[in-house]
Structure 1
């Protein structure tokens, strides 16, 4: 696995974090999944097919100063500067130290790049937890840089009367934004004026530790995709992949950051749910007797990066009934989208 992944990261090191305006570069994330899930031999072929969509790394404008990092935060024009900044950071300090310093700074802007900032960081952290290599540290730097350049806070959560221990009920109670005609920035901008948003975003469901609660939220998001994914087959995968990226990162963070990580991850899941859920669910698809490996193989055969990453999250919860069905349903919906 290691050589395929490091080769892929080296191949992608001079590509930009976005393409066609502000669409995310999914190649590093997909490469990490393919190598982890037994498809490393397909990585370079997959990159050959995806590579035409990629753009070159953006050039820097001005050096970001340690003491003035707040000013360029959330400024996509400074993406090249953030890349230069974080490359220096991971060269000069252990990656966990860099992560612990910047995670709480970036976490309030978890909506960055339609949550792809935190998702890319989560994949990089998982690869580094397996093995520390220069290529993986550089990928973490690029993920953090993307998150910083697109840093975007959500409408604040509140403390309302609504509470639920059941994550699925909590997701079902998230209100939909009124206008779902345009992209995610337009939709998220409506959250502050959406009735019951503050209560829903502040009502973090689940019981147990922060990691246990976040795992139950992620699993509920996977299962809910089976009946609501038709609302937006691609965008609704992020209701599960974003919190799972946080969940995978939490073991590498100081314990003091676990609770704020849970809070931000729930807010991100609720926001994507509010922005893209359909008005009505549809009956879940018929179940199939398939293994996790078979579901991943179907996603890899289709080649779509969103399906590959969603099934990767699904496999983390494969022991729960219905999760593999949700993965298969996502593959079908996305391929037909």
Structure 2
């Protein structure tokens, strides 16, 4: 993890910005700078942020404080993003951050599909930082921003479930996902058309089995990007990064929350697959002699925020298909300008 103070400086720069821009597009900067710092690229964080800064908007206006009585009404209301962030800033200032996370995780988990899954991804990055380093004020504030964004974009998904063999590998389960028929429109419109998904790993309850299954899912989704990423070079990133955010949060959560977290993560990955999978896979180019360090440096030089985040997830495995997936994202995506 970054021990230079660069990450804290970057987060402080970012906390005067809102979680979105143009009313719907996510501010990826907090996630990307955390990924770069975590992967030994702290020296490039501020230069990257200088380029990305044109995509930032000011912190949104407040409506009214979140109250216990009004909480249910405010959940899922993007106009209340600032109110929710304020609420969680107070929460993490008054109680241990793990307690706040454990209290709110089961409340927010059913709605992790709003905001194109970006809120839970932002929380996953924040939790990784807190687990691996000191709970500094900027890092606690970042967790509050992530949780507040999640509450504001909270959106449940209800789908029918078609059975799969209980021992089905995650790659086979993702192959079994039926693509939606109409593929026009953005993420919210496509999500409305996801009405059925395979039921996978629903009987898994042992915490270590949950961790293993979730790890396998993230690996499979990452590998799949190498052969399927051309379906949508940006959105298919989330089939891997959303479940990985949940995986990264598991060590900070009580064990009784792990099994439902696996199911929510599977639903997110499968839904993204249904919405954006291409008609047919393609072969990937092996990374050859490139090392993980080479690949993250290429991702930083390219600059696209989704490339950076997928590369970060790929380096959790750093095998040939995972590195090929990161290189495929670099090939398919437009560089940050």
TM-score range, shorter chain: over 0.9
- CA contact under 8 A between 2:75 and 2:152: conserved in structure 1? yes
Task: Show structure 2 runs of 5+ residues with no match.
Answer: none
Q: Which residue of 2 aligns with 1:203?
A: 200
- CA contact under 8 A between 2:168 and 2:200: conserved in structure 1? no
Counterpart CA distance in 1 for 2:334 and 2:166 is: 37
Q: Which residue of 2 aligns with 1:181?
A: 184
Q: Does 1:74 align with 2:76?
A: yes
Tell me the CA shift for residue 35 of structure 1: 1.0
1:234-293 per-residue CA deviation (whole Å, 9 max, x = no partner) reads: 100100000000000000000000000000000000000001001111122244221111
Q: 1:312 to 1:161 in 2, by over 3 A?
A: closer
Q: Which residue of 1 aligns with 2:10?
A: 8
Q: Which residue of 1 aligns with 2:321?
A: 322
- CA contact under 8 A between 1:165 and 1:206: conserved in structure 2? no
Task: Show structure 1 runs of 5+ residues with no match.
Answer: none
Runs of 4+ with >6 A deviation: 205-208
Tell me the CA shift for residue 67 of structure 1: 4.0
- CA contact under 8 A between 2:166 and 2:203: conserved in structure 1? no
1:69-105 per-residue CA deviation (whole Å, 9 max, x = no partner) reads: 2111110011111111111111111100000000000
- Of 101-110 and 163-172, deviating more is 163-172
Counterpart CA distance in 1 for 2:104 and 2:87 is: 12
Q: Does 1:170 align with 2:193?
A: no
Q: Which residue of 2 aligns with 1:151?
A: 154
Q: Which residue of 2 aligns with 1:115?
A: 117
1:150-197 per-residue CA deviation (whole Å, 9 max, x = no partner) reads: 0111223536355452110110110101111111111100012xxxx2
Counterpart CA distance in 1 for 2:107 and 2:176 is: 29
- CA contact under 8 A between 2:234 and 2:333: conserved in structure 1? yes
TM-score normalised per structure 1: 0.94
Tell me the CA shift for residue 336 of structure 1: 7.2
Q: What does residue range 1-337 of structure 1 map to in structure 2 within 5 Å? A: 1-2=2-3, 3-129=5-131, 130-158=133-161, 160=163, 163-192=166-195, 197-198=196-197, 200=198, 202-204=199-201, 209-318=209-318, 320-335=319-334
Counterpart CA distance in 2 for 1:136 and 1:150 is: 21
- Of 150-159 and 28-37, deviating more is 150-159
Aligned residue pair count? 330
- CA contact under 8 A between 1:18 and 1:55: conserved in structure 2? yes
Counterpart CA distance in 2 for 1:113 and 1:157 is: 22
- State the Cα RMSD in Å: 1.7
TM-score normalised per structure 2: 0.94
- Of 40-49 and 227-236, deviating more is 40-49
